[in-house]
Amino acid sequence: MTDIIARPLAGTRPFRLQGALKEAGLAAFVMFALSLALIAVRVEDVPGGLAIRWRPFDVIAAVVLVFLGRLGLAFLRNNRPAPVALASGLFSAVMALLLIVFVSGGGGVSWAQSLLPFSGFVVNVLVLIISLVLTLRAGLMWRRGERADAGTGVGDTMDRLAASVQGVAVYVIPVLLVAAIIFPFLPFADRRILDIAILVVTYVMLGWGLNIVVGLAGLLDLGYVAFYAVGAYAYALLATEMGIGFWLCLPFAGAMAALAGVLLGFPVLRLRGDYLAIVTLGFGEMIRIILLNWYEVTNGPDGISGIPRPTFFGLPFVRSPPEGVESFHSFFGLTYAPVDRIIFLYYVILAMALITNQFTLRIRKLPVGRAWEALREDETASRSLGINPRNTKLTAFGIGAMFGGFAGSFFATRQGFISPESFTFIESAVILAIVVLGGMGSQIGVVLAAVLLIGLPEMFRELQEFRMLAFGAAMVLIMIWRPRGLLAHREPTIRLFEKGAGKR
Amino acid sequence: MTAADILESARPLLDVEHLTMRFGGLVAIDDVSFAAAPKDITAIIGPNGAGKTTVFNCLTGFYRPSVGRLTLRRNGQEHLLERMEGHDIAQAGVARTFQNIRLFSQMSALENLIVAQHNKLMRASGYTAFGLMGMQAYSEVEAQAVELARYWLERIELVDRADDDAGNLAYGQQRRLEIARAMCTEPALLCLDEPAAGLNPRESVELEELLLFIREQHGVGILLIEHDMSVVMEISDHIVVLDYGQKIAEGTPQEIRDDPAVIRAYLGEEGSAGAERGGGA
């Protein structure tokens, strides 16, 4: 009966199968043109040289699937969910069955492989996910007789989701925190997983640091990696030239990065928006080129190697410590395990990231934090209220840079070797992407985005060269559905009434 | 009262002397002088493009005047506004609102009023250091700031919307909130750029009451740009009329109403003076 309610709307715009077919055909053609270059031909390393492998079936599968998917969307847009729900549901079921057979091993693997549309396992999983999403949407529409108006429903749902995530944050955050703390001792956390986790947490910290500049103060900084580099080189040079330890160097490296931030900020912060972005981009490159060419100090493109590892209150993580020094495992009476050092590094970066987070949360509720947000909202009005825009922006820039510097010294001590190659523009872009995708100013959003952008690509190494393509596609999708970021929801820094009370 | 106090109260709050503002070849304000007495509502009126907002922008440091001196007197101190930066002028005691409302729309109404007390709170938080350590002294000052904000929210009848985003308030509410925000800076002079624009008659009356309250209870001088002549004639103590960047008249509402130069500026050269009195804009 619900269909009857929806019919009049559908009746005003008659469904033209011809138009839908044309649209789907066009999409399929685009897919065909793209896949000719990307999928059809593959150069492979074979013994004795390179060989070309043709993959015509993958192309056909891609084109057919795009055609059907687009046709399904056209049906949905014209309020005909039933056939879409049935067809995509059937398809999903078959796909899921085939994938299960494939994964479970045994005799069915070869025929499952021959029936699956693509040769790559991950691609098949992605197809299944897309098909499930389509089924779900069509199914929901069918049941409610609801019209799908270009994505607005999705946006609303996500907004409510973001708000409710903020609401249950009280419960979720301790759980996440405990998970992060016991993570190294979980059974699946081997050395590779731990390395990925350290990388992710490093980026979470960088994201939180940049969030102060971009999310709170609204200053688009495309050269954040410069401060990361300053911190890394400050530690590397102090440690290798003067033999100062990691913990002593850490504040100094942060101060150096903050100084670099203030020095850069002083002349450029009168610029706004795009102009500021371009200048900071230039500054990021300048630092990298200085590091590359100032051979006497930075050792140029050869980089600095032999950077000392951090110690646990003076106890090094080595199997056989030098004369007169006790090592970590012998002090605590443990057997030596190389993974100890990795676990220790994980906790160091986790602690540093959490300090960054706490600092940001606190400073947001202080006058300077509110002034940052006010400047982001309206600089003219802020000035008319007696806020000094230049100084206020400088503090944001300096503090953001300081945390970049901290993360940089950690990077240097973890790698043991740094060179200018680690500090290219793409790093800045990734950190900025984490902040923007996570939702400007959202702390938990940054974690989510860092896991998505850093963790998943590391996991999905199987996709190989398409990794970056998938990365780009994910960015485009998120920008369409969540232009303000995955979890963009702002809580006031101060309330007159308890939440939920005081309203009529 | 000492002799100095008497002298102080007799002198104007704001002196504008020979203010001239040129943009390249264009003379936006040409040798305008006037004064605003303490606790007076001084209106600046004139046809569109007369240079009213430019006067405001010079006063609040958005433009640097080509010629002229702007003196603000507060607590026996003289501030030469034409030499100061915008944020210093605000700290010296000049607050303003904007023709097109400029609230921090993604921040709550309460936050808007707290941000306005920035400098006071910055000092109390030891320029952030004490605040980060969570010192008692800072929390007390912050509580006072919230109290001041609540006082103004009650005054503009927005207490129950305190925690809502300023951008989600209705237009008239946003106008009132912007005035409250300016008042939270605890100014000596409040500059309002067309506060009644877009308000319905009932809201206009409420606005008049609010302005009179500010003047009576807080002793703040008000400088007002307004096109709504009923508001201007109702509450102004003193009116300055600008046309093409020049001051063409100055006086009490009654004097301005009958001034032939003003009528000419509003109604054209041969305007029928009797019929349209006072309703010109």
In this complex, do A492 and B131 lie within 8 Å of one another by their Cβ atoms?
no
Gap between the Cα atoms of A408 and A395, Å rounded: 19
The pLDDT score that the predictor gives to residue A329 is 76
| Token couple for A305 | 């190697």
- Same domain assignment for residues A181 and A144: no
Contact, A449 vs A460, CB < 8 A?
no
Would the CB atoms of B115 and A368 count as touching at under 8 Å? no
A150 pLDDT band (50/70/90 cuts)?
Answer: very low
Does the residue A172 lie in any domain? no
To which H or E segment does residue B217 belong? helix B201-218
Q: Scanning every residue of chain A, which has its alpha carbon at the shortest distance from the alpha carbon of B104?
A: A377
Q: Do A362 and B132 touch (CB under 8 A)?
A: yes
pLDDT tens readout for residues A367-387? 899 999 999 889 999 999 999
**Contact flag B107-A383 (C-beta cutoff 8 Å):** no
* pLDDT tens, per residue, chain B with 281 residues: 566 555 555 688 888 888 999 888 888 888 889 888 888 899 999 888 888 889 988 988 888 889 888 888 888 888 888 888 888 888 888 999 998 899 998 899 999 999 999 888 888 777 766 667 767 778 888 888 999 999 999 998 888 888 888 888 999 899 999 999 999 999 999 999 989 888 888 999 999 999 999 988 888 999 999 888 888 888 899 999 988 888 888 888 888 888 888 888 887 765 444 444 444 44
Q: State the angle between helix axes of A273-293 and A425-438 in degrees (0 to 180), rounded to the nearest 10.
A: 140
Nearest Cβ partner of B87 from A362, A386, A499? Answer: A386
CB A288 within 8 A of CB A421: no
Closest residue, chain B, to A501 (C-alpha) = B160
- Please give the distance of CA B92 from its chain centroid, rounded to a whole number: 14
Task: Please name the helix (run of DSSP H) or strand (run of DSSP E) that holds residue A256, with its range, or none.
Answer: helix A246-268
Closest by Cβ to B185, choosing from A371, A386, A389: A386
Let me know if residue A111 belongs to a domain.
Answer: yes
Q: What is the mean pLDDT of residues A42-68?
A: 83
Which DSSP state fits A451?
A: I
CA angle B126, B130, B133 (to 5 degrees): 165
Q: Is the distance from CB of B189 to CB of B93 less than 8 angstroms?
A: yes
- What is the DSSP pairing of strand B67-74 with strand A417-418? unpaired
List, in sequence order, the alpha helices (H) in A365-442. 367-377, 379-384, 389-415, 425-438
- Estimate to the nearest angstrom the gap between the alpha carbon of A155 and the chain centroid: 20
Are residues A143 and A210 both part of a single domain?
no
Number of other CB atoms surrounding residue A139 within 10 Å: 17
Q: Is residue A242 part of a domain?
A: yes
Q: Do both A129 and A217 map to the same domain?
A: no
Q: Which two tokens stand for residue A275?
A: 């102009």
- Cα distances (Å, whole numbers) of residue A502 to A48, B107, B147, B151: 77, 18, 16, 16
Residues of B in contact with A382 (CB under 8 A): 115
Cβ contact (<8 Å) for A493 and B111? yes
pLDDT-derived band at A232, boundaries 50, 70, 90:
very high
Closest CA to A398 of A368, A433, A362: A368
Assigned token pair, A365: 């509720």
- Is 90 exceeded by the pLDDT of residue A258? yes
User: Do residues A251 and A355 touch, judged by C-beta distance below 8 A?
Assistant: no
Minimal Cβ distance to B87: which of A366, A387, A496: A387
Give residue B278's pLDDT: 44
State which residue of chain A sits closest to B93, comparing Cα positions: A386
DSSP-derived pairing of the beta strands B41-45 and B238-243: parallel
Which chain A positions have a beta carbon within 8 Å of B95's beta carbon? Answer: 384-385
Q: What is the pLDDT of residues A23-35, one digit of tens each?
A: 889 989 998 888 8
**Across the interface, do A377 and B104 touch by the CB < 8 Å criterion?**
yes
Instruction: Name the percent of chain A lying above pLDDT 70.
Output: 87
A109 pLDDT band (50/70/90 cuts)? confident
Of B87, B142, B181, the CB nearest to A383: B87
First to last CA, chain B: 43
Report residue A500 CA to chain centroid gap: 33
* Domain co-membership, A181 together with A146: no
Query: Cα–Cα distance between A417 and A308 in angstroms, integer?
Result: 9
A89 with A226, same domain? no
User: A109 versus B63: which is more confidently predicted?
Assistant: B63
The three-state secondary structure class of B69 is strand
Q: What is the DSSP string of B255-276?
A: HHHT-HHHHHHHH-TT--TTTT
Tell me, yes or no, whether A221 and A133 share the same domain. no
Do A472 and A369 share a structural domain? yes
DSSP letters along A355-367, please?
Answer: HHHHHHHHHHTSH
Say if residue A126's pLDDT is above 70.
yes
DSSP A319: S
The yes-or-no verdict on residue A481 having pLDDT over 50 is yes
Structure confidence at residue A226 as a pLDDT band (50, 70, 90) = very high
Q: In this predicted model, what pLDDT tens digit does every residue of A324-337 receive, in sequence order?
A: 777 777 777 777 77
| B188-210 residues labelled b (16+ CB within 10 A) or e (exposed) | bbbbbbbbbeebeeebbebbbeb
Asked if the structure places residue A341 within a domain, the reply is yes
Closest CA to A185 of A415, A357, A355, A347: A347
> B119, A386: Cβ pair inside 8 Å?
yes
The distance of A218 to chain B (nearest Cα, Å) reads: 13
CA distance B177 to B157: 10
User: Domain span at residue A86?
Assistant: 2-150
The answer to whether B177 and B98 are in contact (CB under 8 A) is: no
- Of A90-99, A307-316, B60-69, B192-201, the one with minimum mean pLDDT is A307-316
Query: Which of B107, B138, B156 would best serve as a mutation to test chain A binding (most A beta carbons within 10 A)?
Result: B107
Task: Write down which residue in A107, A134, A150 finishes a domain.
Answer: A150
Q: Does residue A87 have a pLDDT over 90? A: no
Which residues on B lie below 8 Å from A490 (Cβ)? 106
Chain B hits for A383, Cβ within 8 Å: 61, 86-87, 90
- Enumerate long-range contacts of A174-178, CB under 8 Å, 24 or more apart: A176/A447, A177/A354
The whole-angstrom separation of Cα A456 and Cα A200 is 10
pTM for the full predicted model: 0.77
The Cα–Cα gap between B98 and B195 comes to 8
Answer whether residue A504 is part of any domain: no
For residue A387, give the chain B residue with the closest CA. Answer: B87
Residues from chain A that touch B131, judged by Cβ atoms under 8 A, are 362, 366-367
B-chain residue closest to A500, CA distance: B163
Compute the nearest-CA separation of A430 from chain B (Å).
26
Count of residues making up chain B: 281
User: Which pLDDT score is estimated for A85?
Assistant: 85
User: Under a CB-based contact definition with an 8 Å cutoff, are residues A440 and A215 in contact?
Assistant: yes
Residue of A nearest to B185 (CA): A385
B134: closest CA of chain A, how far (Å): 9
Calculate the average pLDDT of chain A. 81
From A266's Cα to the closest Cα of chain B, the distance in A is: 17
Q: Give B55-112 pLDDT, tens digit per residue.
A: 988 988 888 889 888 888 888 888 888 888 888 888 888 999 998 899 998 899 999 9
In a domain, A486, yes or no: no
Residue B102 has its nearest CB partner, among A381, A495, A497, at A381
The count of structural domains within chain A is 2
Cβ pair A367:B181 closer than 8 A: no
**Does residue A501 fall inside a structural domain?**
no
Residue A175: pLDDT band (50, 70, 90) is: confident
Are the C-beta atoms of residues B82 and A360 closer than 8 Å to each other?
Answer: no
- Same domain for A141 and A204? no
Strand order in the sheet with B41-45: B94-96, B189-193, B221-225, B41-45, B238-243, B246-251
Of the listed ranges A6-10, A60-64, A284-288, A387-391, the least confidently predicted one is A6-10
Separation of alpha carbons A275 and A272, rounded Å: 6
What tokens does B137 get?
């002294």
Residue A496 with chain B: CB contacts under 8 Å: 110, 146, 149-150, 153, 159, 162-163
Task: Tell me: do A220 and A355 sit in the same domain.
Answer: yes
- Nearest CB to A492: which of B85, B110, B150? B110
Residue A3 confidence class, pLDDT cut points 50, 70, 90: very low
Contact check, Cβ <8 Å, B110/A496 = yes
In a domain, A347, yes or no: yes
Question: Are A358 and A436 found together in one domain?
Answer: yes
Is the CA virtual torsion B100, B106, B111, B115 positive or negative? negative
Q: Are strands B189-193 and B221-225 parallel, antiparallel or unpaired?
A: parallel
| Joined tokens for residue A246 | 């990691």
Give the helix/strand (H/E) hosting B240: strand B238-243
Residue that has been written with the tokens 């020979």 in this structure: B18
Q: Hey, are the CB atoms on A370 and B116 less than 8 Å from each other?
A: no
Across the interface, whether the CB atoms of B118 and A371 are under 8 A apart is answered: yes
- Give the C-alpha distances (Å, rounded to integers) separating B210 from A67, A485, B37, B95, B235: 65, 41, 19, 16, 11
Closest listed residue to residue B242, CA positions, set B72, B21, B83, B70 = B21
Whether the Cβ atoms of residue B111 and residue A492 lie closer than 8 Å to each other: yes
In total, chain A counts a number of residues equal to: 504
Nearest beta carbon to residue A367 from set B125, B146, B150: B125
Q: Are residues A245 and A284 in the same domain?
A: yes
Interface contact flag, A386 B118, Cβ < 8 Å: yes
Instruction: Give yes or no: residues A228 and A375 share one domain.
Output: yes
DSSP state of B168: G
SS3 of A26-43: the string is HHHHHHHHHHHHHHHEEE
Q: What residue of B is the nearest CA neighbor of A370? A: B115
A405 vs A220 pLDDT, higher one? A405
Chain A residue with CA closest to B167: the answer is: A377
B67 forms beta bridges with B20
The DSSP secondary structure of B115-151, one letter per residue, reads HTTHHHHHHHTTTTHHHHHT-HHHHHHHHHHHHHHHH
Mutation site for A-interface testing, chosen from B59, B81, B88, B104 by largest number of A Cβ within 10 Å: B104
